[in-house]
Amino acid sequence: MPQEITVIVLAAGGGTRMKSKTMKVLHPIAGRSMIGHVLRAAVAVEPSRVVAVVGHQREQVGPHVTELVPDALLAVQETQEGTGHAVRTAWEALPAQARTGTVLVITGDTPLLEGESLRAFLDFHAGTEHAMSILTGVVADPFGYGRIVRDETGVAAIVEQKDATEAQLAIDEINSGILAFDAAFLDAALPRLTNANAKGEYYLTDTVTLARADGRTVGAFVIDDVVQTEGANDRAQLAALGAEMNRRILDRWMREGVTVVDPASTWVDADVKLAADVTLLPGVQLLGATAVGEDAVIGPDSTLKDCEIGAGAHVVRAHGELAVVGPGATVGPFAYLRPGTELGQDGKIGTFVETKNAQIGQGAKVPHLSYVGDATIGEGANIGAGTIFANYDGVAKHRTTIGAYAKTASNNTFVAPVTIGDGAATGAGSVIRRDVPPGALAVTSGPQRHFDEWAQKKRAGTAQAKAAADAAKASHRGDDAPGAGPDAGTPESGVGDSVAGG
């Protein structure tokens, strides 16, 4: 490749066909904005400088560009007067000493564009003496595209659909809109562009005519994978490109040892990392910067965004965001892991469990029907079914700590801030408001009381009352049975009867 490269990214258009308050190039695809994909490809050619031409909604586009490429130069195109005018705006924003080498012009709405393709294109251009080179493609249906007209020296012209003759309409080689220029030629050509056309715009493609008039040649480099040059002007095209990008992402991961059971229902963003022998079951979405370790199984029907899943873990029918699942741990089905969740090795977050800002230790379990917010759960602890960590007092959030190997019973409420010591236990139905010492049993529910014949008295005439009366009669008839007595089958009471959680 040439030693000095200036990349100009065109991103000033309004994108009215998107019908959106979001600028066209900022629409997401596979976890990045369209222009984010383009900038990634541009940076791959190791340019000396990147200039982004912004216009419509520049307050959105500009900061996004500089966030991704901090040293990018922003050139503001106050009025959109065509591609030639946009490139001239970028060129004039550069200091004179920077207007050298090779200039690569790309558009901000071609998200499938790859750095490897741009490198090959620049290598081609550098190996010639062309004033400019055009990245072209051969397509089955060239309708609507500018046709590449060649002669013995290279490209003779780019002819638009409406201006083409019958013979030219039969040409299947099209202009992608991606161009490479010798900087000296571009510097001389830009001031000579005119807007003497039906639209009153300055077309960058008119540089072909100028080059030929100067006795210079114009080259064309045919890209095999022409889909990389396709843009998205509306949401239907965006969805089509998104589906194609997802197909390519899944194909790459499958070739690297990942099992994708149903590619049609599986979506994986561009920045996701997958280890060998990961299995993705149907209905999986892996979004953002999610990373999945070796032998982990995700799905079916799971969505994970910016999550870290350890080797051998299993996440089934769960939703997670900014969460960490340790090696060998299990999650779901129907679990919700909110930001700040950290599940330790071999731990468990079970069915209908919601966690938030919770650190759950190695081998610890929250099996079912619980909310765990702002909590630390120690190694080997077990949280009973139906447990609520009451972390909010109406003003501030507070934290609950459950010690190592503690066993809490079903239907507990922990009113934070509170600490349950190592090896401690709680009784079923307890509301824990004070710290529990290590090894102690905490019980807050009172003794059970009975109000005899309540149903017959308070629900007279109902099916409930009839069933109670029939049972009482049957019980009386059984009083004379051998071995029957008032204490038969009645266990001794004790506060520890229901300590086990579930």
The CATH number that applies at residue 33 is 3.90.550.10
Asked if residue 223 and residue 263 are part of one domain, the reply reads no
pLDDT at 160: 86
Strand locations in 57-183 (E): 73-76, 102-107, 132-138, 147-151, 154-159, 173-182
Asked if residue 319 and residue 176 are part of one domain, the reply reads no
Range of the domain at 100: 5-229
Q: For residue 107, which of 10, 230, 248 has the smallest C-alpha distance?
A: 10
Which residue shows structure tokens 């129907």? 334
Q: What is the CATH number of the domain that holds 272?
A: 2.160.10.10
**DSSP-assigned beta bridge partners for residue 400:** 375, 418
Which residue shows structure tokens 């992402």? 249
In a domain, 481, yes or no: no
Residues 6+ apart with CB under 8 A from 499: 407, 409, 425, 426, 427, 428, 441
SS3 370: strand
Asked if residue 57 and residue 175 are part of one domain, the reply reads yes
d(CA 420, CA 381): 11
pLDDT at 182: 97
pLDDT at 479: 61
By the 10 Å C-beta count (0-12 exposed, 13-18 middle, 19+ buried), 95 is classed as exposed
Specify the number of domains making up the chain.
2
pLDDT at 481: 52
pLDDT at 498: 46
- CB-based contact 27:232 (threshold 8 Å): yes
Q: Phi then psi for 249, rounded to 5 degrees?
A: -65, -45
Q: Which two tokens stand for residue 127?
A: 């190996």
In a domain, 65, yes or no: yes
Q: Active site includes 37?
A: no
Asked if residue 191 and residue 112 are part of one domain, the reply reads yes
Q: Name the percent of the chain in helix, strand, coil, to the closest 5.
A: 25, 30, 45
Asked if residue 341 and residue 219 are part of one domain, the reply reads no
In a domain, 369, yes or no: yes
* 130, 368, 398, 450: the active-site residue: 368
Asked if residue 344 and residue 223 are part of one domain, the reply reads no
Determine the residue type at 81: E
d(CA 460, CA 440): 45
Asked if residue 89 and residue 161 are part of one domain, the reply reads yes
Asked if residue 276 and residue 397 are part of one domain, the reply reads yes
Q: What is the mean pLDDT of each run of 10 residues along the chain (502 residues)?
A: 89 89 94 98 97 94 97 94 95 95 97 97 95 96 93 92 91 96 97 89 94 96 96 95 98 98 98 98 98 98 98 98 98 98 98 98 98 98 98 95 97 97 96 96 90 92 95 80 45 44 52
In a domain, 240, yes or no: no
Determine the residue type at 212: R
Task: Give ∠ CA 88-93-99 in degrees, rounded to 5.
Answer: 80
- CB-based contact 395:410 (threshold 8 Å): no
d(CA 295, CA 258): 9
Asked if residue 322 and residue 224 are part of one domain, the reply reads no
Torsion angle (degrees, nearest 10) of CA 300, 305, 306, 309: -10
pTM: 0.89
